[in-house]
Amino acid sequence: MLSYISKLKLTNYRNFENLNLEFPGSSIALVGKNGVGKTNILEAISIMQPGRGIRSAKITDISRNNANFFGVFVELLLGNEKIQIGTEYNKKISRVRKIKINKNYYISQMELIKYLRIISLSPSMDGMFIDSPHSRRKFIDRITWNFYGNHSQLINSYDQLIKERNNILRENILDHGWIKNVEKQIVDFGSNILINRNKILSLLASELENRVDHIKVFPAPDIFLSGEVEEIFGSNNVENFKEIYKEKLFNSRSLDSLKGSTGFGPHRSELSVNFKEKKIPAYLCSTGEQKILLISIILATARASKDFHGSSPILLLDEVFSHLDEVRREALSREIIDIGIQAWMTSTEASHYMTFGGKSYIINLDEIV
């Protein structure tokens, strides 16, 4: 089922004082000169998910002219159902943004993912394969919570427990019951994180293997998690793994106390991506090859998400088409049409979207702003 944004309204958001647009169920191409606000629109859509959006911006930095208030509204069409989703921030009233869905207010941003699922690819992700392991873990975790809405809560709870354990060890607090309870929770949350990640990697591997039509244009990479915790998890059932996990944490208390950190767990996992055809890791590939490997993973995620949920996510592609040659633009256009997904795309040139053959809705922001 196609799920798409039919209306978008921005109030005091970045460079937009008021923007009110309506859209068909096709992909949306935003064109215009640099600085006109193309990425701002994609960012506004991206914050209709838990978190800070594609720019990881502080909420206080988003409002127009530092006015300390802004609003975003979208109408989502899912079959015959209309879902109205809004978020607003007003520094004078609260330090957190409000969430409103179909006239009901919510405190938790997690409500958003029940209705609107967003997959994005932006320039900030271009260096992911040569960046820190943390950025790659964040990448796979964001993909995972597109399928399992509670995954981000698992990550947040797990991170807090790791900090708590580190503090107990650093302060040398002699409360064995306390640290035992914290470690038990770490094992429970950590195990569920590993289970979720592995399920999603299996889904992505299946989708990547089945993408035969455009595999020569967007090669299917090998994508997997590696590390000590994965080796033990992969060779034991869940209950045995949990016992080993507890023992690992217990035996490493002295060493972790000296280091000031916890050395074992899914927060140490490494997401590895290999260019299967060339048999080399992604971090050794050229910039262009890394880009097409990323696109392959994002497309596989979009397909798997639609199959998993029975409705399509929203795809955000910031300055992706402008960096591809004609052959790859055409292949990417076909993939988007084949999946049956609303993609939001940015570029300075409308000609970059001619490969859609009229099946995209082009908006020239130079004529609006």
- Bridge partners of residue 88, in order along the sequence: 71, 98
Contact 145, 152 (CB under 8 A): yes
Q: How many Å apart are CA 345 and CA 29, to the nearest integer?
A: 5
* Residue 211: strand, helix, or coil: coil
**What is the reported pLDDT for 108?**
84
* DSSP tag of 150: T
* Closest by Cα among 338, 337, 221 to 274: 221
Q: Report d(CA 1, CA 16) in Å as an integer.
A: 32
What's the distance, CA 9 to chain centroid?
23
Reported as type and span, the H/E element at residue 9 is strand 3-13
- Going from the C-alpha of 156 to that of each of 150, 153, 186, 193, 324, the distances in angstroms are 10, 5, 11, 11, 36
Contacts of 114 (CB under 8 A, 6+ apart): 149
Tokens linked to 349: 């040139």
Q: So what's the pLDDT on residue 214?
A: 57
Q: Which helix (H) or strand (E) holds 98?
A: strand 98-101
Nearest Cα residue to 26 out of 51, 49, 9, 2: 2
Contact 6, 338 (CB under 8 A): no
The CA dihedral of 131, 134, 135, 138, to the nearest 10 degrees, is 160
In this structure, what token pair is assigned to residue 252? 């490493």
Tokens 């090998």 — which residue? 222
pLDDT of residue 213: 58
Distance from C-alpha of 303 to C-alpha of 325, rounded to nearest angstrom: 23
Is residue 30 within 8 A of residue 344, CB to CB? The reply is yes
359 DSSP β-pair partners: none
Neighbours of 105 (CB within 10 A): 10
pLDDT for the residue numbered 368: 86
| Unique residue bearing structure tokens 């090859």 | 289
Q: Which of 131, 143, 116, 154 is nearest to 8 (CA)?
A: 116
Task: Write out the chain's pLDDT in tens, 369 residues.
Answer: 889 999 999 999 999 999 999 999 999 999 999 999 999 999 999 999 888 899 999 988 999 988 889 999 999 999 889 999 999 999 888 888 999 999 899 888 888 988 999 999 999 999 999 999 999 999 999 999 999 989 999 999 999 999 999 999 999 887 899 999 999 999 999 999 999 999 999 999 999 888 755 556 888 899 999 999 999 999 999 999 999 999 999 999 999 999 999 999 999 999 999 999 899 999 999 999 999 999 999 999 999 999 999 999 999 999 999 889 999 999 999 999 999 999 999 999 888 888 888 888 999 999 987
- The pTM (predicted TM-score) of the whole model is 0.93
- Position 215 scores a pLDDT of 58
Alpha helices in 99-175 (DSSP H): 133-145, 151-170
- Token pair in block for residue 203: 């889904």
Task: Tell me which DSSP letter residue 267 carries.
Answer: G
Residue 358's pLDDT is what?
A: 80
Q: Is 122 helix (H, G, I), strand (E, B) or coil?
A: coil
SS3 117: coil
CA gap 37, 161 in Å, rounded: 40
Distance of alpha carbon 343 from alpha carbon 366, whole angstroms: 20
